[in-house]
Amino acid sequence: MNQPQVPPQVRIWQIGLGFANTAVFHALIKAGVIEQMREQPRSAAELAQACHLNADMLYRTLRFAEANDVVTRDGDQYALTDVGRYLLKDVPGSLYMGLMLIGSEPWQKAWNNFSYALTTGNNSFEPAMGAGFFDYLDRHPEYGVPFNQWQTILTTMAASAIAEGYDFTPFGTVCDIGGGHGILLKNLLSANPHLRGILFDQENVVKDHALSDLAGRVEIQSGSFFERVPAADVLLMKNVLHDWSDEKCQVILDRCRAAMQPSSRLLIVERVIDSPTDLMGAFYDLHMQVLMNGRERTEAEFSLLLEKAGLKLNRIIPTKSPMKIIEVSI
């Protein structure tokens, strides 16, 4: 039996109220309400007392959460649904840190200033917060630290899918460019015992690397990929290019091209927008623009970008994650 369609005006209203979801669930996480339901159902009165909240307002907020399938109610007892459990900290696949960041002041101010990006084509974060995105995070560790933790979580969630998605057998060395703390590289080396690795990122990032147990197989190098890229059989970049404009990407790709041999491969691990109904891809495209003048790209846009750097897109390999592996050669 076909489900009744949502009337167009109702659908528009649902879209327009998206801001309320962010505000409500950020507040519930921050107040500790979600955590209080980790082990067992609780009443609104119990939750309000434990979290020092207004009981009536919490009851109404939990009603909103129930309508969004985040909690379920049995009598006066509220419990997390399977969906809601992903808002808990430290559970597999947790989205806790992502919701805490996107609901925080810098992210919200940048998005509230979206009309600036729409009018000028420039990011709206800098005029809203008085500094570029990464400079702001450096100056404000209360946001910079959880942002880096969130990036590590996202990489951990996708790492095994990426390691399984490409055959590294013909290669001896892999350099993870902008590789953060080395979570992805660690997965690749664990899955491919013959490989040796290079972790390349800023000094303040690689000093906290997670590769100590692979010390005999890993070299740690610090620097900027705008200036140089270490040579290796495989150059790997996960979610690097989407941070930057086409002009900035051109510089990064030029540095990669200079480090490559005919037998080398460059693997770009990113979302590839391949459908007009790809809502998450379209969202992240705008999100990267709002924050830092970045963008998500289509296959045609990647191909053109690579061609300008003297590189060739060989193939795009799907993985068991939202990321795809773009294989590139000279």
| pLDDT band at residue 170 using 50, 70 and 90 as cut-offs | very high
Digit-coded pLDDT (tens) for 111-168 = 999 999 999 999 999 999 999 999 999 999 999 989 988 888 888 888 989 999 999 9
Q: Which domain holds residue 199?
A: 153-329
Query: Strands 196-201 and 218-222: what pairing?
Result: parallel
CB atoms within 10 A of CB 23: 12
Please tell me whether residues 160 and 24 are part of one structural domain: no
Query: Of 49-58, 204-213, 320-329, which range is least confident?
Result: 204-213
Digit-coded pLDDT (tens) for 190-204 = 999 999 999 999 998
d(CA 174, CA 259): 12
Digit-coded pLDDT (tens) for 311-321 = 999 999 999 99
Total tally of structural domains belonging to the chain:
2
Digit-coded pLDDT (tens) for 280-297 = 999 999 999 999 999 999
Please tell me whether residues 53 and 160 are part of one structural domain: no
116 lies in some domain:
no
pLDDT of residue 1: 46
Let me know if 25 is exposed, middle or buried by CB neighbors in 10 A (0-12, 13-18, 19+).
buried
Say which of 26, 209, 242, 287 is annotated catalytic.
242
Digit-coded pLDDT (tens) for 220-245 = 999 999 999 999 999 999 999 999 99
pLDDT of residue 5: 82
Please tell me whether residues 65 and 171 are part of one structural domain: no
Please tell me whether residues 324 and 184 are part of one structural domain: yes
DSSP 31-43: HTHHHHTSSS-EE
Residues pairing with 201 in the sheet: 222
* Mean pLDDT taken over the chain: 94
Task: Give the residue from 68, 87, 106 where a domain finishes.
Answer: 87
| pLDDT band at residue 2 using 50, 70 and 90 as cut-offs | low
Task: Give the residue from 42, 61, 87 where a domain finishes.
Answer: 87
144 lies in some domain:
no
Residue of higher predicted confidence among 121 and 1: 121
- 110 pLDDT higher than 80: yes
Give percent above pLDDT 70 in the chain: 99
pLDDT of residue 205: 86
Please tell me whether residues 190 and 310 are part of one structural domain: yes
147 lies in some domain:
no
Please tell me whether residues 313 and 210 are part of one structural domain: yes
Q: What residue type is 293 in one-letter code?
A: N
> What CATH number is attached to the domain comprising 42?
1.10.10.10
Determine the distance from the C-alpha atom of residue 317 to the mean position of all C-alpha atoms in its chain, rounded to a whole number: 19
Please tell me whether residues 163 and 308 are part of one structural domain: yes
Digit-coded pLDDT (tens) for 247-268 = 999 999 999 999 999 999 999 9
Digit-coded pLDDT (tens) for 32-89 = 999 999 999 999 999 999 999 999 999 999 999 999 999 999 999 999 999 999 999 9
* 141-165 helix and 183-191 helix, angle to the nearest 10 degrees: 20
Query: Strands 234-238 and 265-270: what pairing?
Result: parallel
Residues pairing with 235 in the sheet: 175, 266
68 lies in some domain:
yes
215 lies in some domain:
yes
Average pLDDT over residues 90-106: 93
98 lies in some domain:
no
Task: Give the residue from 87, 117, 134 where a domain finishes.
Answer: 87
d(CA 182, CA 211): 6
CB atoms within 10 A of CB 141: 11
> What CATH number is attached to the domain comprising 300?
3.40.50.150
Please tell me whether residues 160 and 83 are part of one structural domain: no
Please count the residues of the chain.
330
Please tell me whether residues 320 and 235 are part of one structural domain: yes
Please tell me whether residues 170 and 318 are part of one structural domain: yes
Q: Is 242 a catalytic residue?
A: yes
Please tell me whether residues 51 and 165 are part of one structural domain: no
225 lies in some domain:
yes
Using alpha carbons, list the distances in angstroms from residue 90 to 51, 93, 153: 20, 8, 10
Average pLDDT over residues 168-174: 97
Please tell me whether residues 79 and 165 are part of one structural domain: no
126 lies in some domain:
no
